[in-house]
Amino acid sequence: MARVPFIGRLFWREYLALLGSLILVAFEAFIRVITLGLPQPIIRLCYNTSRRLFNSLSSTKSKQARAQNKTISHSVATCSDFTELCALFGYYAEEHIVQTGDGYLLGVHRLPFAKGEDYDHARTNAGPGSTSKPVVYLHHGLLMNSEVWVCLTEEERCLPFALVNQGYDVWLGNNRGNKYSKKSVHCSPTSPRFWNFSMDEFAFHDIPDTIDYILQTTSQPTLSYIGFSQGTAQAFATLSIHPGMNDKVNLFIALAPAMSPAGLNNGIVDSLVKSSPDVLFLTFGRKSILSSATMWQSILYPPIFVRLIDMSLGFLFAWYSKNISAHQKLAAYPHLYSFTSTKSVVHWFQIIRNKSFQMYDDDSSNAMSIGSSSRYYKVAKFPTRNIKTPIVLVYGGSDSLVDIRVMLKELPKHTMAFEIPHFEHLDFLWAQEVDKLVFPHVFEALRHFAVERENAGTPRSLALTLTNTAHYHRRQGSGSVGWSEDEASYSDLDQTSPVIKSFAQRQRERPYTTRSPANASMVALPWSEKRPVVEVNGQASAEQLSASANGSGAGAVDKTGESNSDLDIAEKTIRPPSSQGGDRRSVSGSSSASPLVHPKFGSKGISVGTARPSVVATVNPDLSS
């Protein structure tokens, strides 16, 4: 089909989808104009009407469940800002302002004291006489702000609170244009010039300038970076184009990492991805995108607003949020949306369309020109393989935005990856078991790279060596996607590598290649019948033996070549009742678990070190202590 100017290369179905999306956007704009002109009593009437309608259609059981959890979820949902959310749980929060090199003023939040610490007299990282703490910097995702980290209904599931209670100096950043960073010294937010930014500006200014401000304020030489979703993409871009930043960031933990999404199957979104940026700017304008979300939140009863968000996430991304409780959604969804530019979303559409983690293409509108051919014109990619900082990826197996194989090909060889099989994108913020399945990976990585190695006198400019990576694998007790000592010269994604690939590595390649089961057989280790390893041509890989010795079996393969997943084993195993073993928590097979204690397999709590599930040991606290 010939390319049509202005629209782009679309098929007739995509034209219809694009037309439908334009109609929906126009309808929403019409409603928004009407809403802005309505007096407050009319808006309250709409809200109360939606509430009565919802309650009349709800069952008695659902009403009782909402009533039981209404207090805390309502308190979290109605908090006006970050400091109020922290104060709700008894934490003191500071507010800081960072001016970027191009004049934007960014709001940054800080949690310097643990709960109960005397913040009236104590000082943290403030020079002589103050308490020195390692610094951790957290950054949010697309269309979000720092509130998404702390709007949880249980304190134990809040990562910033858990970190500050473990002795870290916790900072939380914000992107230009969002709720806390809607100001510039050069122009007003009412001007299109203010919103003329994409991820390039985040990488060239926002992240490095914020990191420099934090290190200058705390007098610390390095910090650890934890990003979520687009917050990980901004770190990938920043560390790749600023070599000096690799000396200032001692560890990068990427939760639900986003770099080059696999693509979306939804017709409307797919048509927008393939269309010209001119169409997107015509549809959403050249300022902030989806700013009408606040309007819907103000006129809809919260449970209805939650249903609307859930339907939108399922429709666009196939996320069904089953791991997030209903009262957590009521508490968190009012804090989910924050402003960003249309251009930054267009940037993501270019990345998805071109399947390349690239900088913003300012010339993509001229698709008809001769010079637009890749022979004469190529958009600069972020050189992510140049990153020297240790990278730990923790991703969800049910996250439609993550293609871990594509991502690993674009990252340096020292990258480590861990999968939570049933987690979706937002689960890394608000899932019921986020503290059991995600936090252990974060704490272990911080202890090894940010605390222990610095206390041992390791140079702060950490270029991760193969020995360091292998040591971390042994401590973690999980078959990571990263390198091991036995793979010292080859990437596990290198098809020409003479090193025999482990079972976990071949499992990652399974969707791309057909694996022959002819030479696969089972070898049981002497100490356990539940942790077989795979023998290929009579030779078992050293990485398998090492992982099994650390209590991190990767499952088995029968003679037919089909995998007997540890997840299947877990589903057939009955968890011992809590009354027999006291309080049991799901932990990854790390060094904290004694090797003399045989693990008990539980059906709840799954943590994965590769692209297949690995059952987590449920350790008896009386024995492991």
Residues that are catalytic: 229, 399, 425
In order of 386, 424, 489, 551, 610, the CA distances from 413 in angstroms are 10, 26, 10, 24, 15
Cβ atoms of 524 and 534 within 8 Å: the answer is: no
Q: Is 607 helix (H, G, I), strand (E, B) or coil?
A: strand
Q: How far apart (Å, rounded) are the C-alpha atoms in residues 446 and 465?
A: 17
Angle between helices 267-274 and 12-37 (to 10 degrees): 100
What are the two backbone dihedrals, phi and then psi, of residue 428, each rounded to the nearest 5 degrees? -70, -10
In order of 287, 529, 530, 532, 619, the CA distances from 526 in angstroms are 64, 8, 10, 10, 21
Name which of 261, 45, 304 is nearest 141 in CA terms. 261
Indicate the burial class of 40 (C-beta count within 10 angstroms; 0-12, 13-18, 19 or more).
Answer: exposed
The two beta strands, 600-607 and 614-618, are antiparallel
Distance between terminal CA atoms of the chain?
68
Which conformational region is residue 125 in: left (phi greater than 0), alpha (psi within -120 to 50 degrees), or beta? Answer: left
Question: Alpha carbon 494 to chain centroid distance?
Answer: 27
The Cβ-side half-sphere exposure at 189, using a 13 Å CA radius, reads 16
Indicate the burial class of 396 (C-beta count within 10 angstroms; 0-12, 13-18, 19 or more).
Answer: buried
The two beta strands, 169-172 and 105-111, are antiparallel
Q: How far apart (Å, rounded) are the C-alpha atoms in residues 98 and 108?
A: 7
The Cβ-side half-sphere exposure at 107, using a 13 Å CA radius, reads 18
Name which of 203, 191, 194 is nearest 239 in CA terms. 203
Q: Tokens standing for 331?
A: 């508490």
Rounded to 5 degrees, what angle do the CA atoms 43, 48, 49 make?
95
Q: Is 523 helix (H, G, I), strand (E, B) or coil?
A: strand
The single-letter code of the amino acid at 288 is: S
Rounded to 5 degrees, what angle do the CA atoms 319, 322, 327 make?
115
DSSP of 239-297: HHH-TTHHHHEEEEEEES--SS------HHHHHHHHS-HHHHHHHH-SSBSSTTHHHHH
Cβ atoms of 277 and 423 within 8 Å: the answer is: no
Q: How far apart (Å, rounded) are the C-alpha atoms in residues 163 and 235?
A: 20
Name which of 525, 510, 517 is nearest 610 in CA terms. 510
